[in-house]
Each structure stands twice: as structure tokens, then as C-alpha cells.
Structure 1
Amino acid sequence: MRHGSIPGAHGRVRPLSLLGDPILGAPCREVTDFGPELARLVEDMFATMYAAQGVGLAANQVGEPLRVFVYDCPDDEDVRHLGHVVNPRLVETDGVVLRGPEGCLSLPGLEAATERYDHAVIEGFTTTGEPVTIHGTGFFARCLQHEADHLEGRVYADRVTGWRKRRLMRQATRATWRRPGSLP
């Protein structure tokens, strides 16, 4: 990213991986090359996230099985958090566990009440290899946990149980974006 430019302004919008795509169910690989291809991927991820009107996006959601995610997400006080993290590790979750509505760009148009901690800490790196620590509370903590899950091969639907899970899977089965036979 050029200094001072808007993230995603020079990126291309990539197709999204949808529920049932095997790439969403497998853990992602560590990034080892912090070169221009990584910077291009992050730029494309921002462009894709903005085009899809999301607040976070993991690399496997655009077909790249790498440990990278981007975010532009408010917290509960409406403070905007904007950035990316490479090789993130969820190092802390604590506070109150809240069940709140959660959606995903890989399950377009669907949401379900999902339990998440209201505080999360992620450690990782920038595209240039600089270490970063990201603290999130409220909705932003939910976003960080959601994106970290993607990189482990999980989607929020994996955390939903009981009647909520059954309802979500019925909705996914009827979704217009679903490919026949693509759901687990």
C-alpha cells in the first residue's frame, strides 16, 4: 500500500469463497514471503471487503489459504479500527461472553446469534514484517475472533448450536448463492 492511500483503492475485487468451499474448512498456511505479492493480496482483500460491504475478510475467503486478514470495523463506542494482520495469533479472549448477531461474506445474507468474548487480543505482523498487537472490545472483538476462526478453517456457523444451527443450515440450503451439493 502506498503511504497515505485509501486501503483497497488500487486493489481488484476477487470472487468470494462460499460456504461449502473446501478452502474455508482447512487451516491456512503461515506467510513466509513479505514481498510485493503479499501487499497486493492485502490491497485486493480491502477492495473485495469494501465491495461486499463487510467489516473483515480473511485470505481464504478470496481463495488464498494464507494467514492474513483485513478489517475496517467499529467497536461498541463507534470508534473505527482499520488495518490488516499477517500470521495473526489470538493470544487473549476474556470478559463477558455475549451472544450477538453475526454474519459472514462467505454466507451472504445470513446471520445467526453467535457467542463471542467481548475482549480479544491479536498479535501478528504487517505486510512489511513489523510486529503489531491489536486489542478489540465489543463488536470489534467479535470481528477479530471471527477472522481468526477463518484462518483455522472455521466459519461462525461452526460455533452455532441447537435450533439456531438447524435454522441457519436450512437457510443456507435455500440460499440463491449456494451451489448444489456444496454444503457440509
Structure 2
Amino acid sequence: MAVRPIVISGDPVLHSPAEPVVAFDDDLRALVRDMYETMDAAPGVGLAGPQVGVGLRLFTFSYVDDDDVETRGVAINPTLWITPVPATEADEDEDVEGCLSFPGERFPLQRAASAILTAVDLDQKPFEIHADGWLARIFQHEFDHLDGTLYVDRVEHFYAKIAAKVSRKRGWGVPGLSWLPGVDDLEG
């Protein structure tokens, strides 16, 4: 297992739709092990293949709810159904999220309150998770990565301008930039 570099906004792999996983082999198992280790080291609650430079439709997730129950897994070739996204503005305290590929920044974003994730695991066994609240948010965030969308692409205009300014100031928005959890002093 190894912690992999996390690609920063601007790299084409983050801004392109990912390809379906077709080979369920030892290389995929190694990738998923590395993704868990990278997600935990970052630390993060989700990590998509494109975020480690691999343009495949998979993501890992780890969430502990208010009752200390952990939901942890890998979603391969997922589909996601969501409830309608509220037409109200995102709450600056309750609806804030960050991204390991836009490290160190957090912006409010309105998301659907509930989601249904269907996918397969490493053994190609289908599963379905009904999620509400933060777990639903995690699934939406990671699923967006598989379609080439970062959360900063979805934030309201005011925050989009701030995100663009941050990106310019840090020299992001170009291919080839990454950071290594546990080594670089960045967080998402």
C-alpha cells in the first residue's frame, strides 16, 4: 500500500469524464488499497480515481455518523439518484464542503438531502446505499469527480470568483500539479 499524490484542480484528468472499470484484477485491488490509504492520510471522507490521476469510475468513502457507525467502502461504476436540490442559497455554516483537489479551501454548496448509490464492489458484487445528510453529500461530491466536475464548478457566483482568485494566486489551473498527504502541508 502507498499514499498517492492527489491531483490539483487544472489537471485534465479532473476535468474529463472517467471511464468505466472493466478489469477487476490485482491492479485494481492495489489501486483501491492505495486510495484508502491516501484518503485516510489526507485526511478525507472520500476520494475518486481521477483525484489520484486515474481516470476510472470508482471512489472510496468513509463516514462516521452521530451514533459512531462507520460507513466505509468502494463504489465501482456507480450510479447515483438524488432528491431535488433545494432552490435556496447554501448555508455558510451547514452546507460547507472542501475538496482534496482544491486543498485548503471550503465553500458553501447546496446539495440534495438524500441520495441512492448503486455500484459494485471489488468482487463485482452489486450493492445499494440509501444516504441522507453528509453521507449523501459525500456521494454527490465524489460522483461529480467521475463526471469531471469539481465542487468549485458548482458554487454560487460569489464563491466561484473567490475560488478562481485562490486558484490563480496558488498557480493552480494547469496540468501536472499535485500534493502528497503526510508530506506536503495542504488540506482539503
Q: TM-score, normalised by structure 2?
A: 0.84
Shift of 1:25: 0.4
Task: Identify the residue that residue 96 of structure 2 maps to in structure 1.
Answer: 101
Matched residues in 1 for 2:113 and 2:169: separation?
32
Deviation (angstroms), 1:134 = 1.6
TM-score (ref. length: structure 1): 0.86
**Whole-angstrom CA distance in 2 between matches of 1:96 and 1:27:** 22
Q: Which residue of 2 aligns with 1:85?
A: 75
Match of 1:67? 57
Cα distance, 1:77 vs. partner? 5.7
User: 2:177 aligned with 1:182, yes or no?
Assistant: no
How far 1:171 sits from its partner (Å)? 2.0
Partner Cα separation in structure 1 for residue 160 and residue 85 of structure 2: 22
Q: Which runs of 5+ in 2 are unaligned?
A: 176-188
Aligned counterpart, 2:16: 26
Letter in 2 for 1:72: S
| Candidates 156, 161, 172, aligned match of 1:161 | 156
SS at match of 2:103: coil
1:114 is aligned with what amino acid?
L
The within-5 A match list for 1:125-140 is 125-140=120-135
Change (3 A) 1:95 1:74: farther
Return 94-103 or 128-137, whichever deviates more: 94-103
Report the aligned-residue RMSD: 1.8
Identity of aligned residues (%): 39
* Secondary structure in 2 matching 1:117: coil
Cα distance, 1:78 vs structure 2: 5.3
The alignment partner of 1:116 has SS state of coil
Q: Is the 8 A contact 2:85 2:110 kept in 1?
A: no
Q: Which structure 1 segments of 5+ residues have no match?
A: 1-10
Higher relative contact order (CA 8 A, sep 6+): 2
Q: Does 1:36 align with 2:31?
A: no
Aligned length: 169
Contact 2:114/2:130 (CA < 8 Å) preserved in 1?
Answer: yes
Match of 2:178 in 1: none
Q: Is the 8 A contact 1:76 1:138 kept in 2?
A: no
2:107 pairs with one of 98, 106, 112? 112
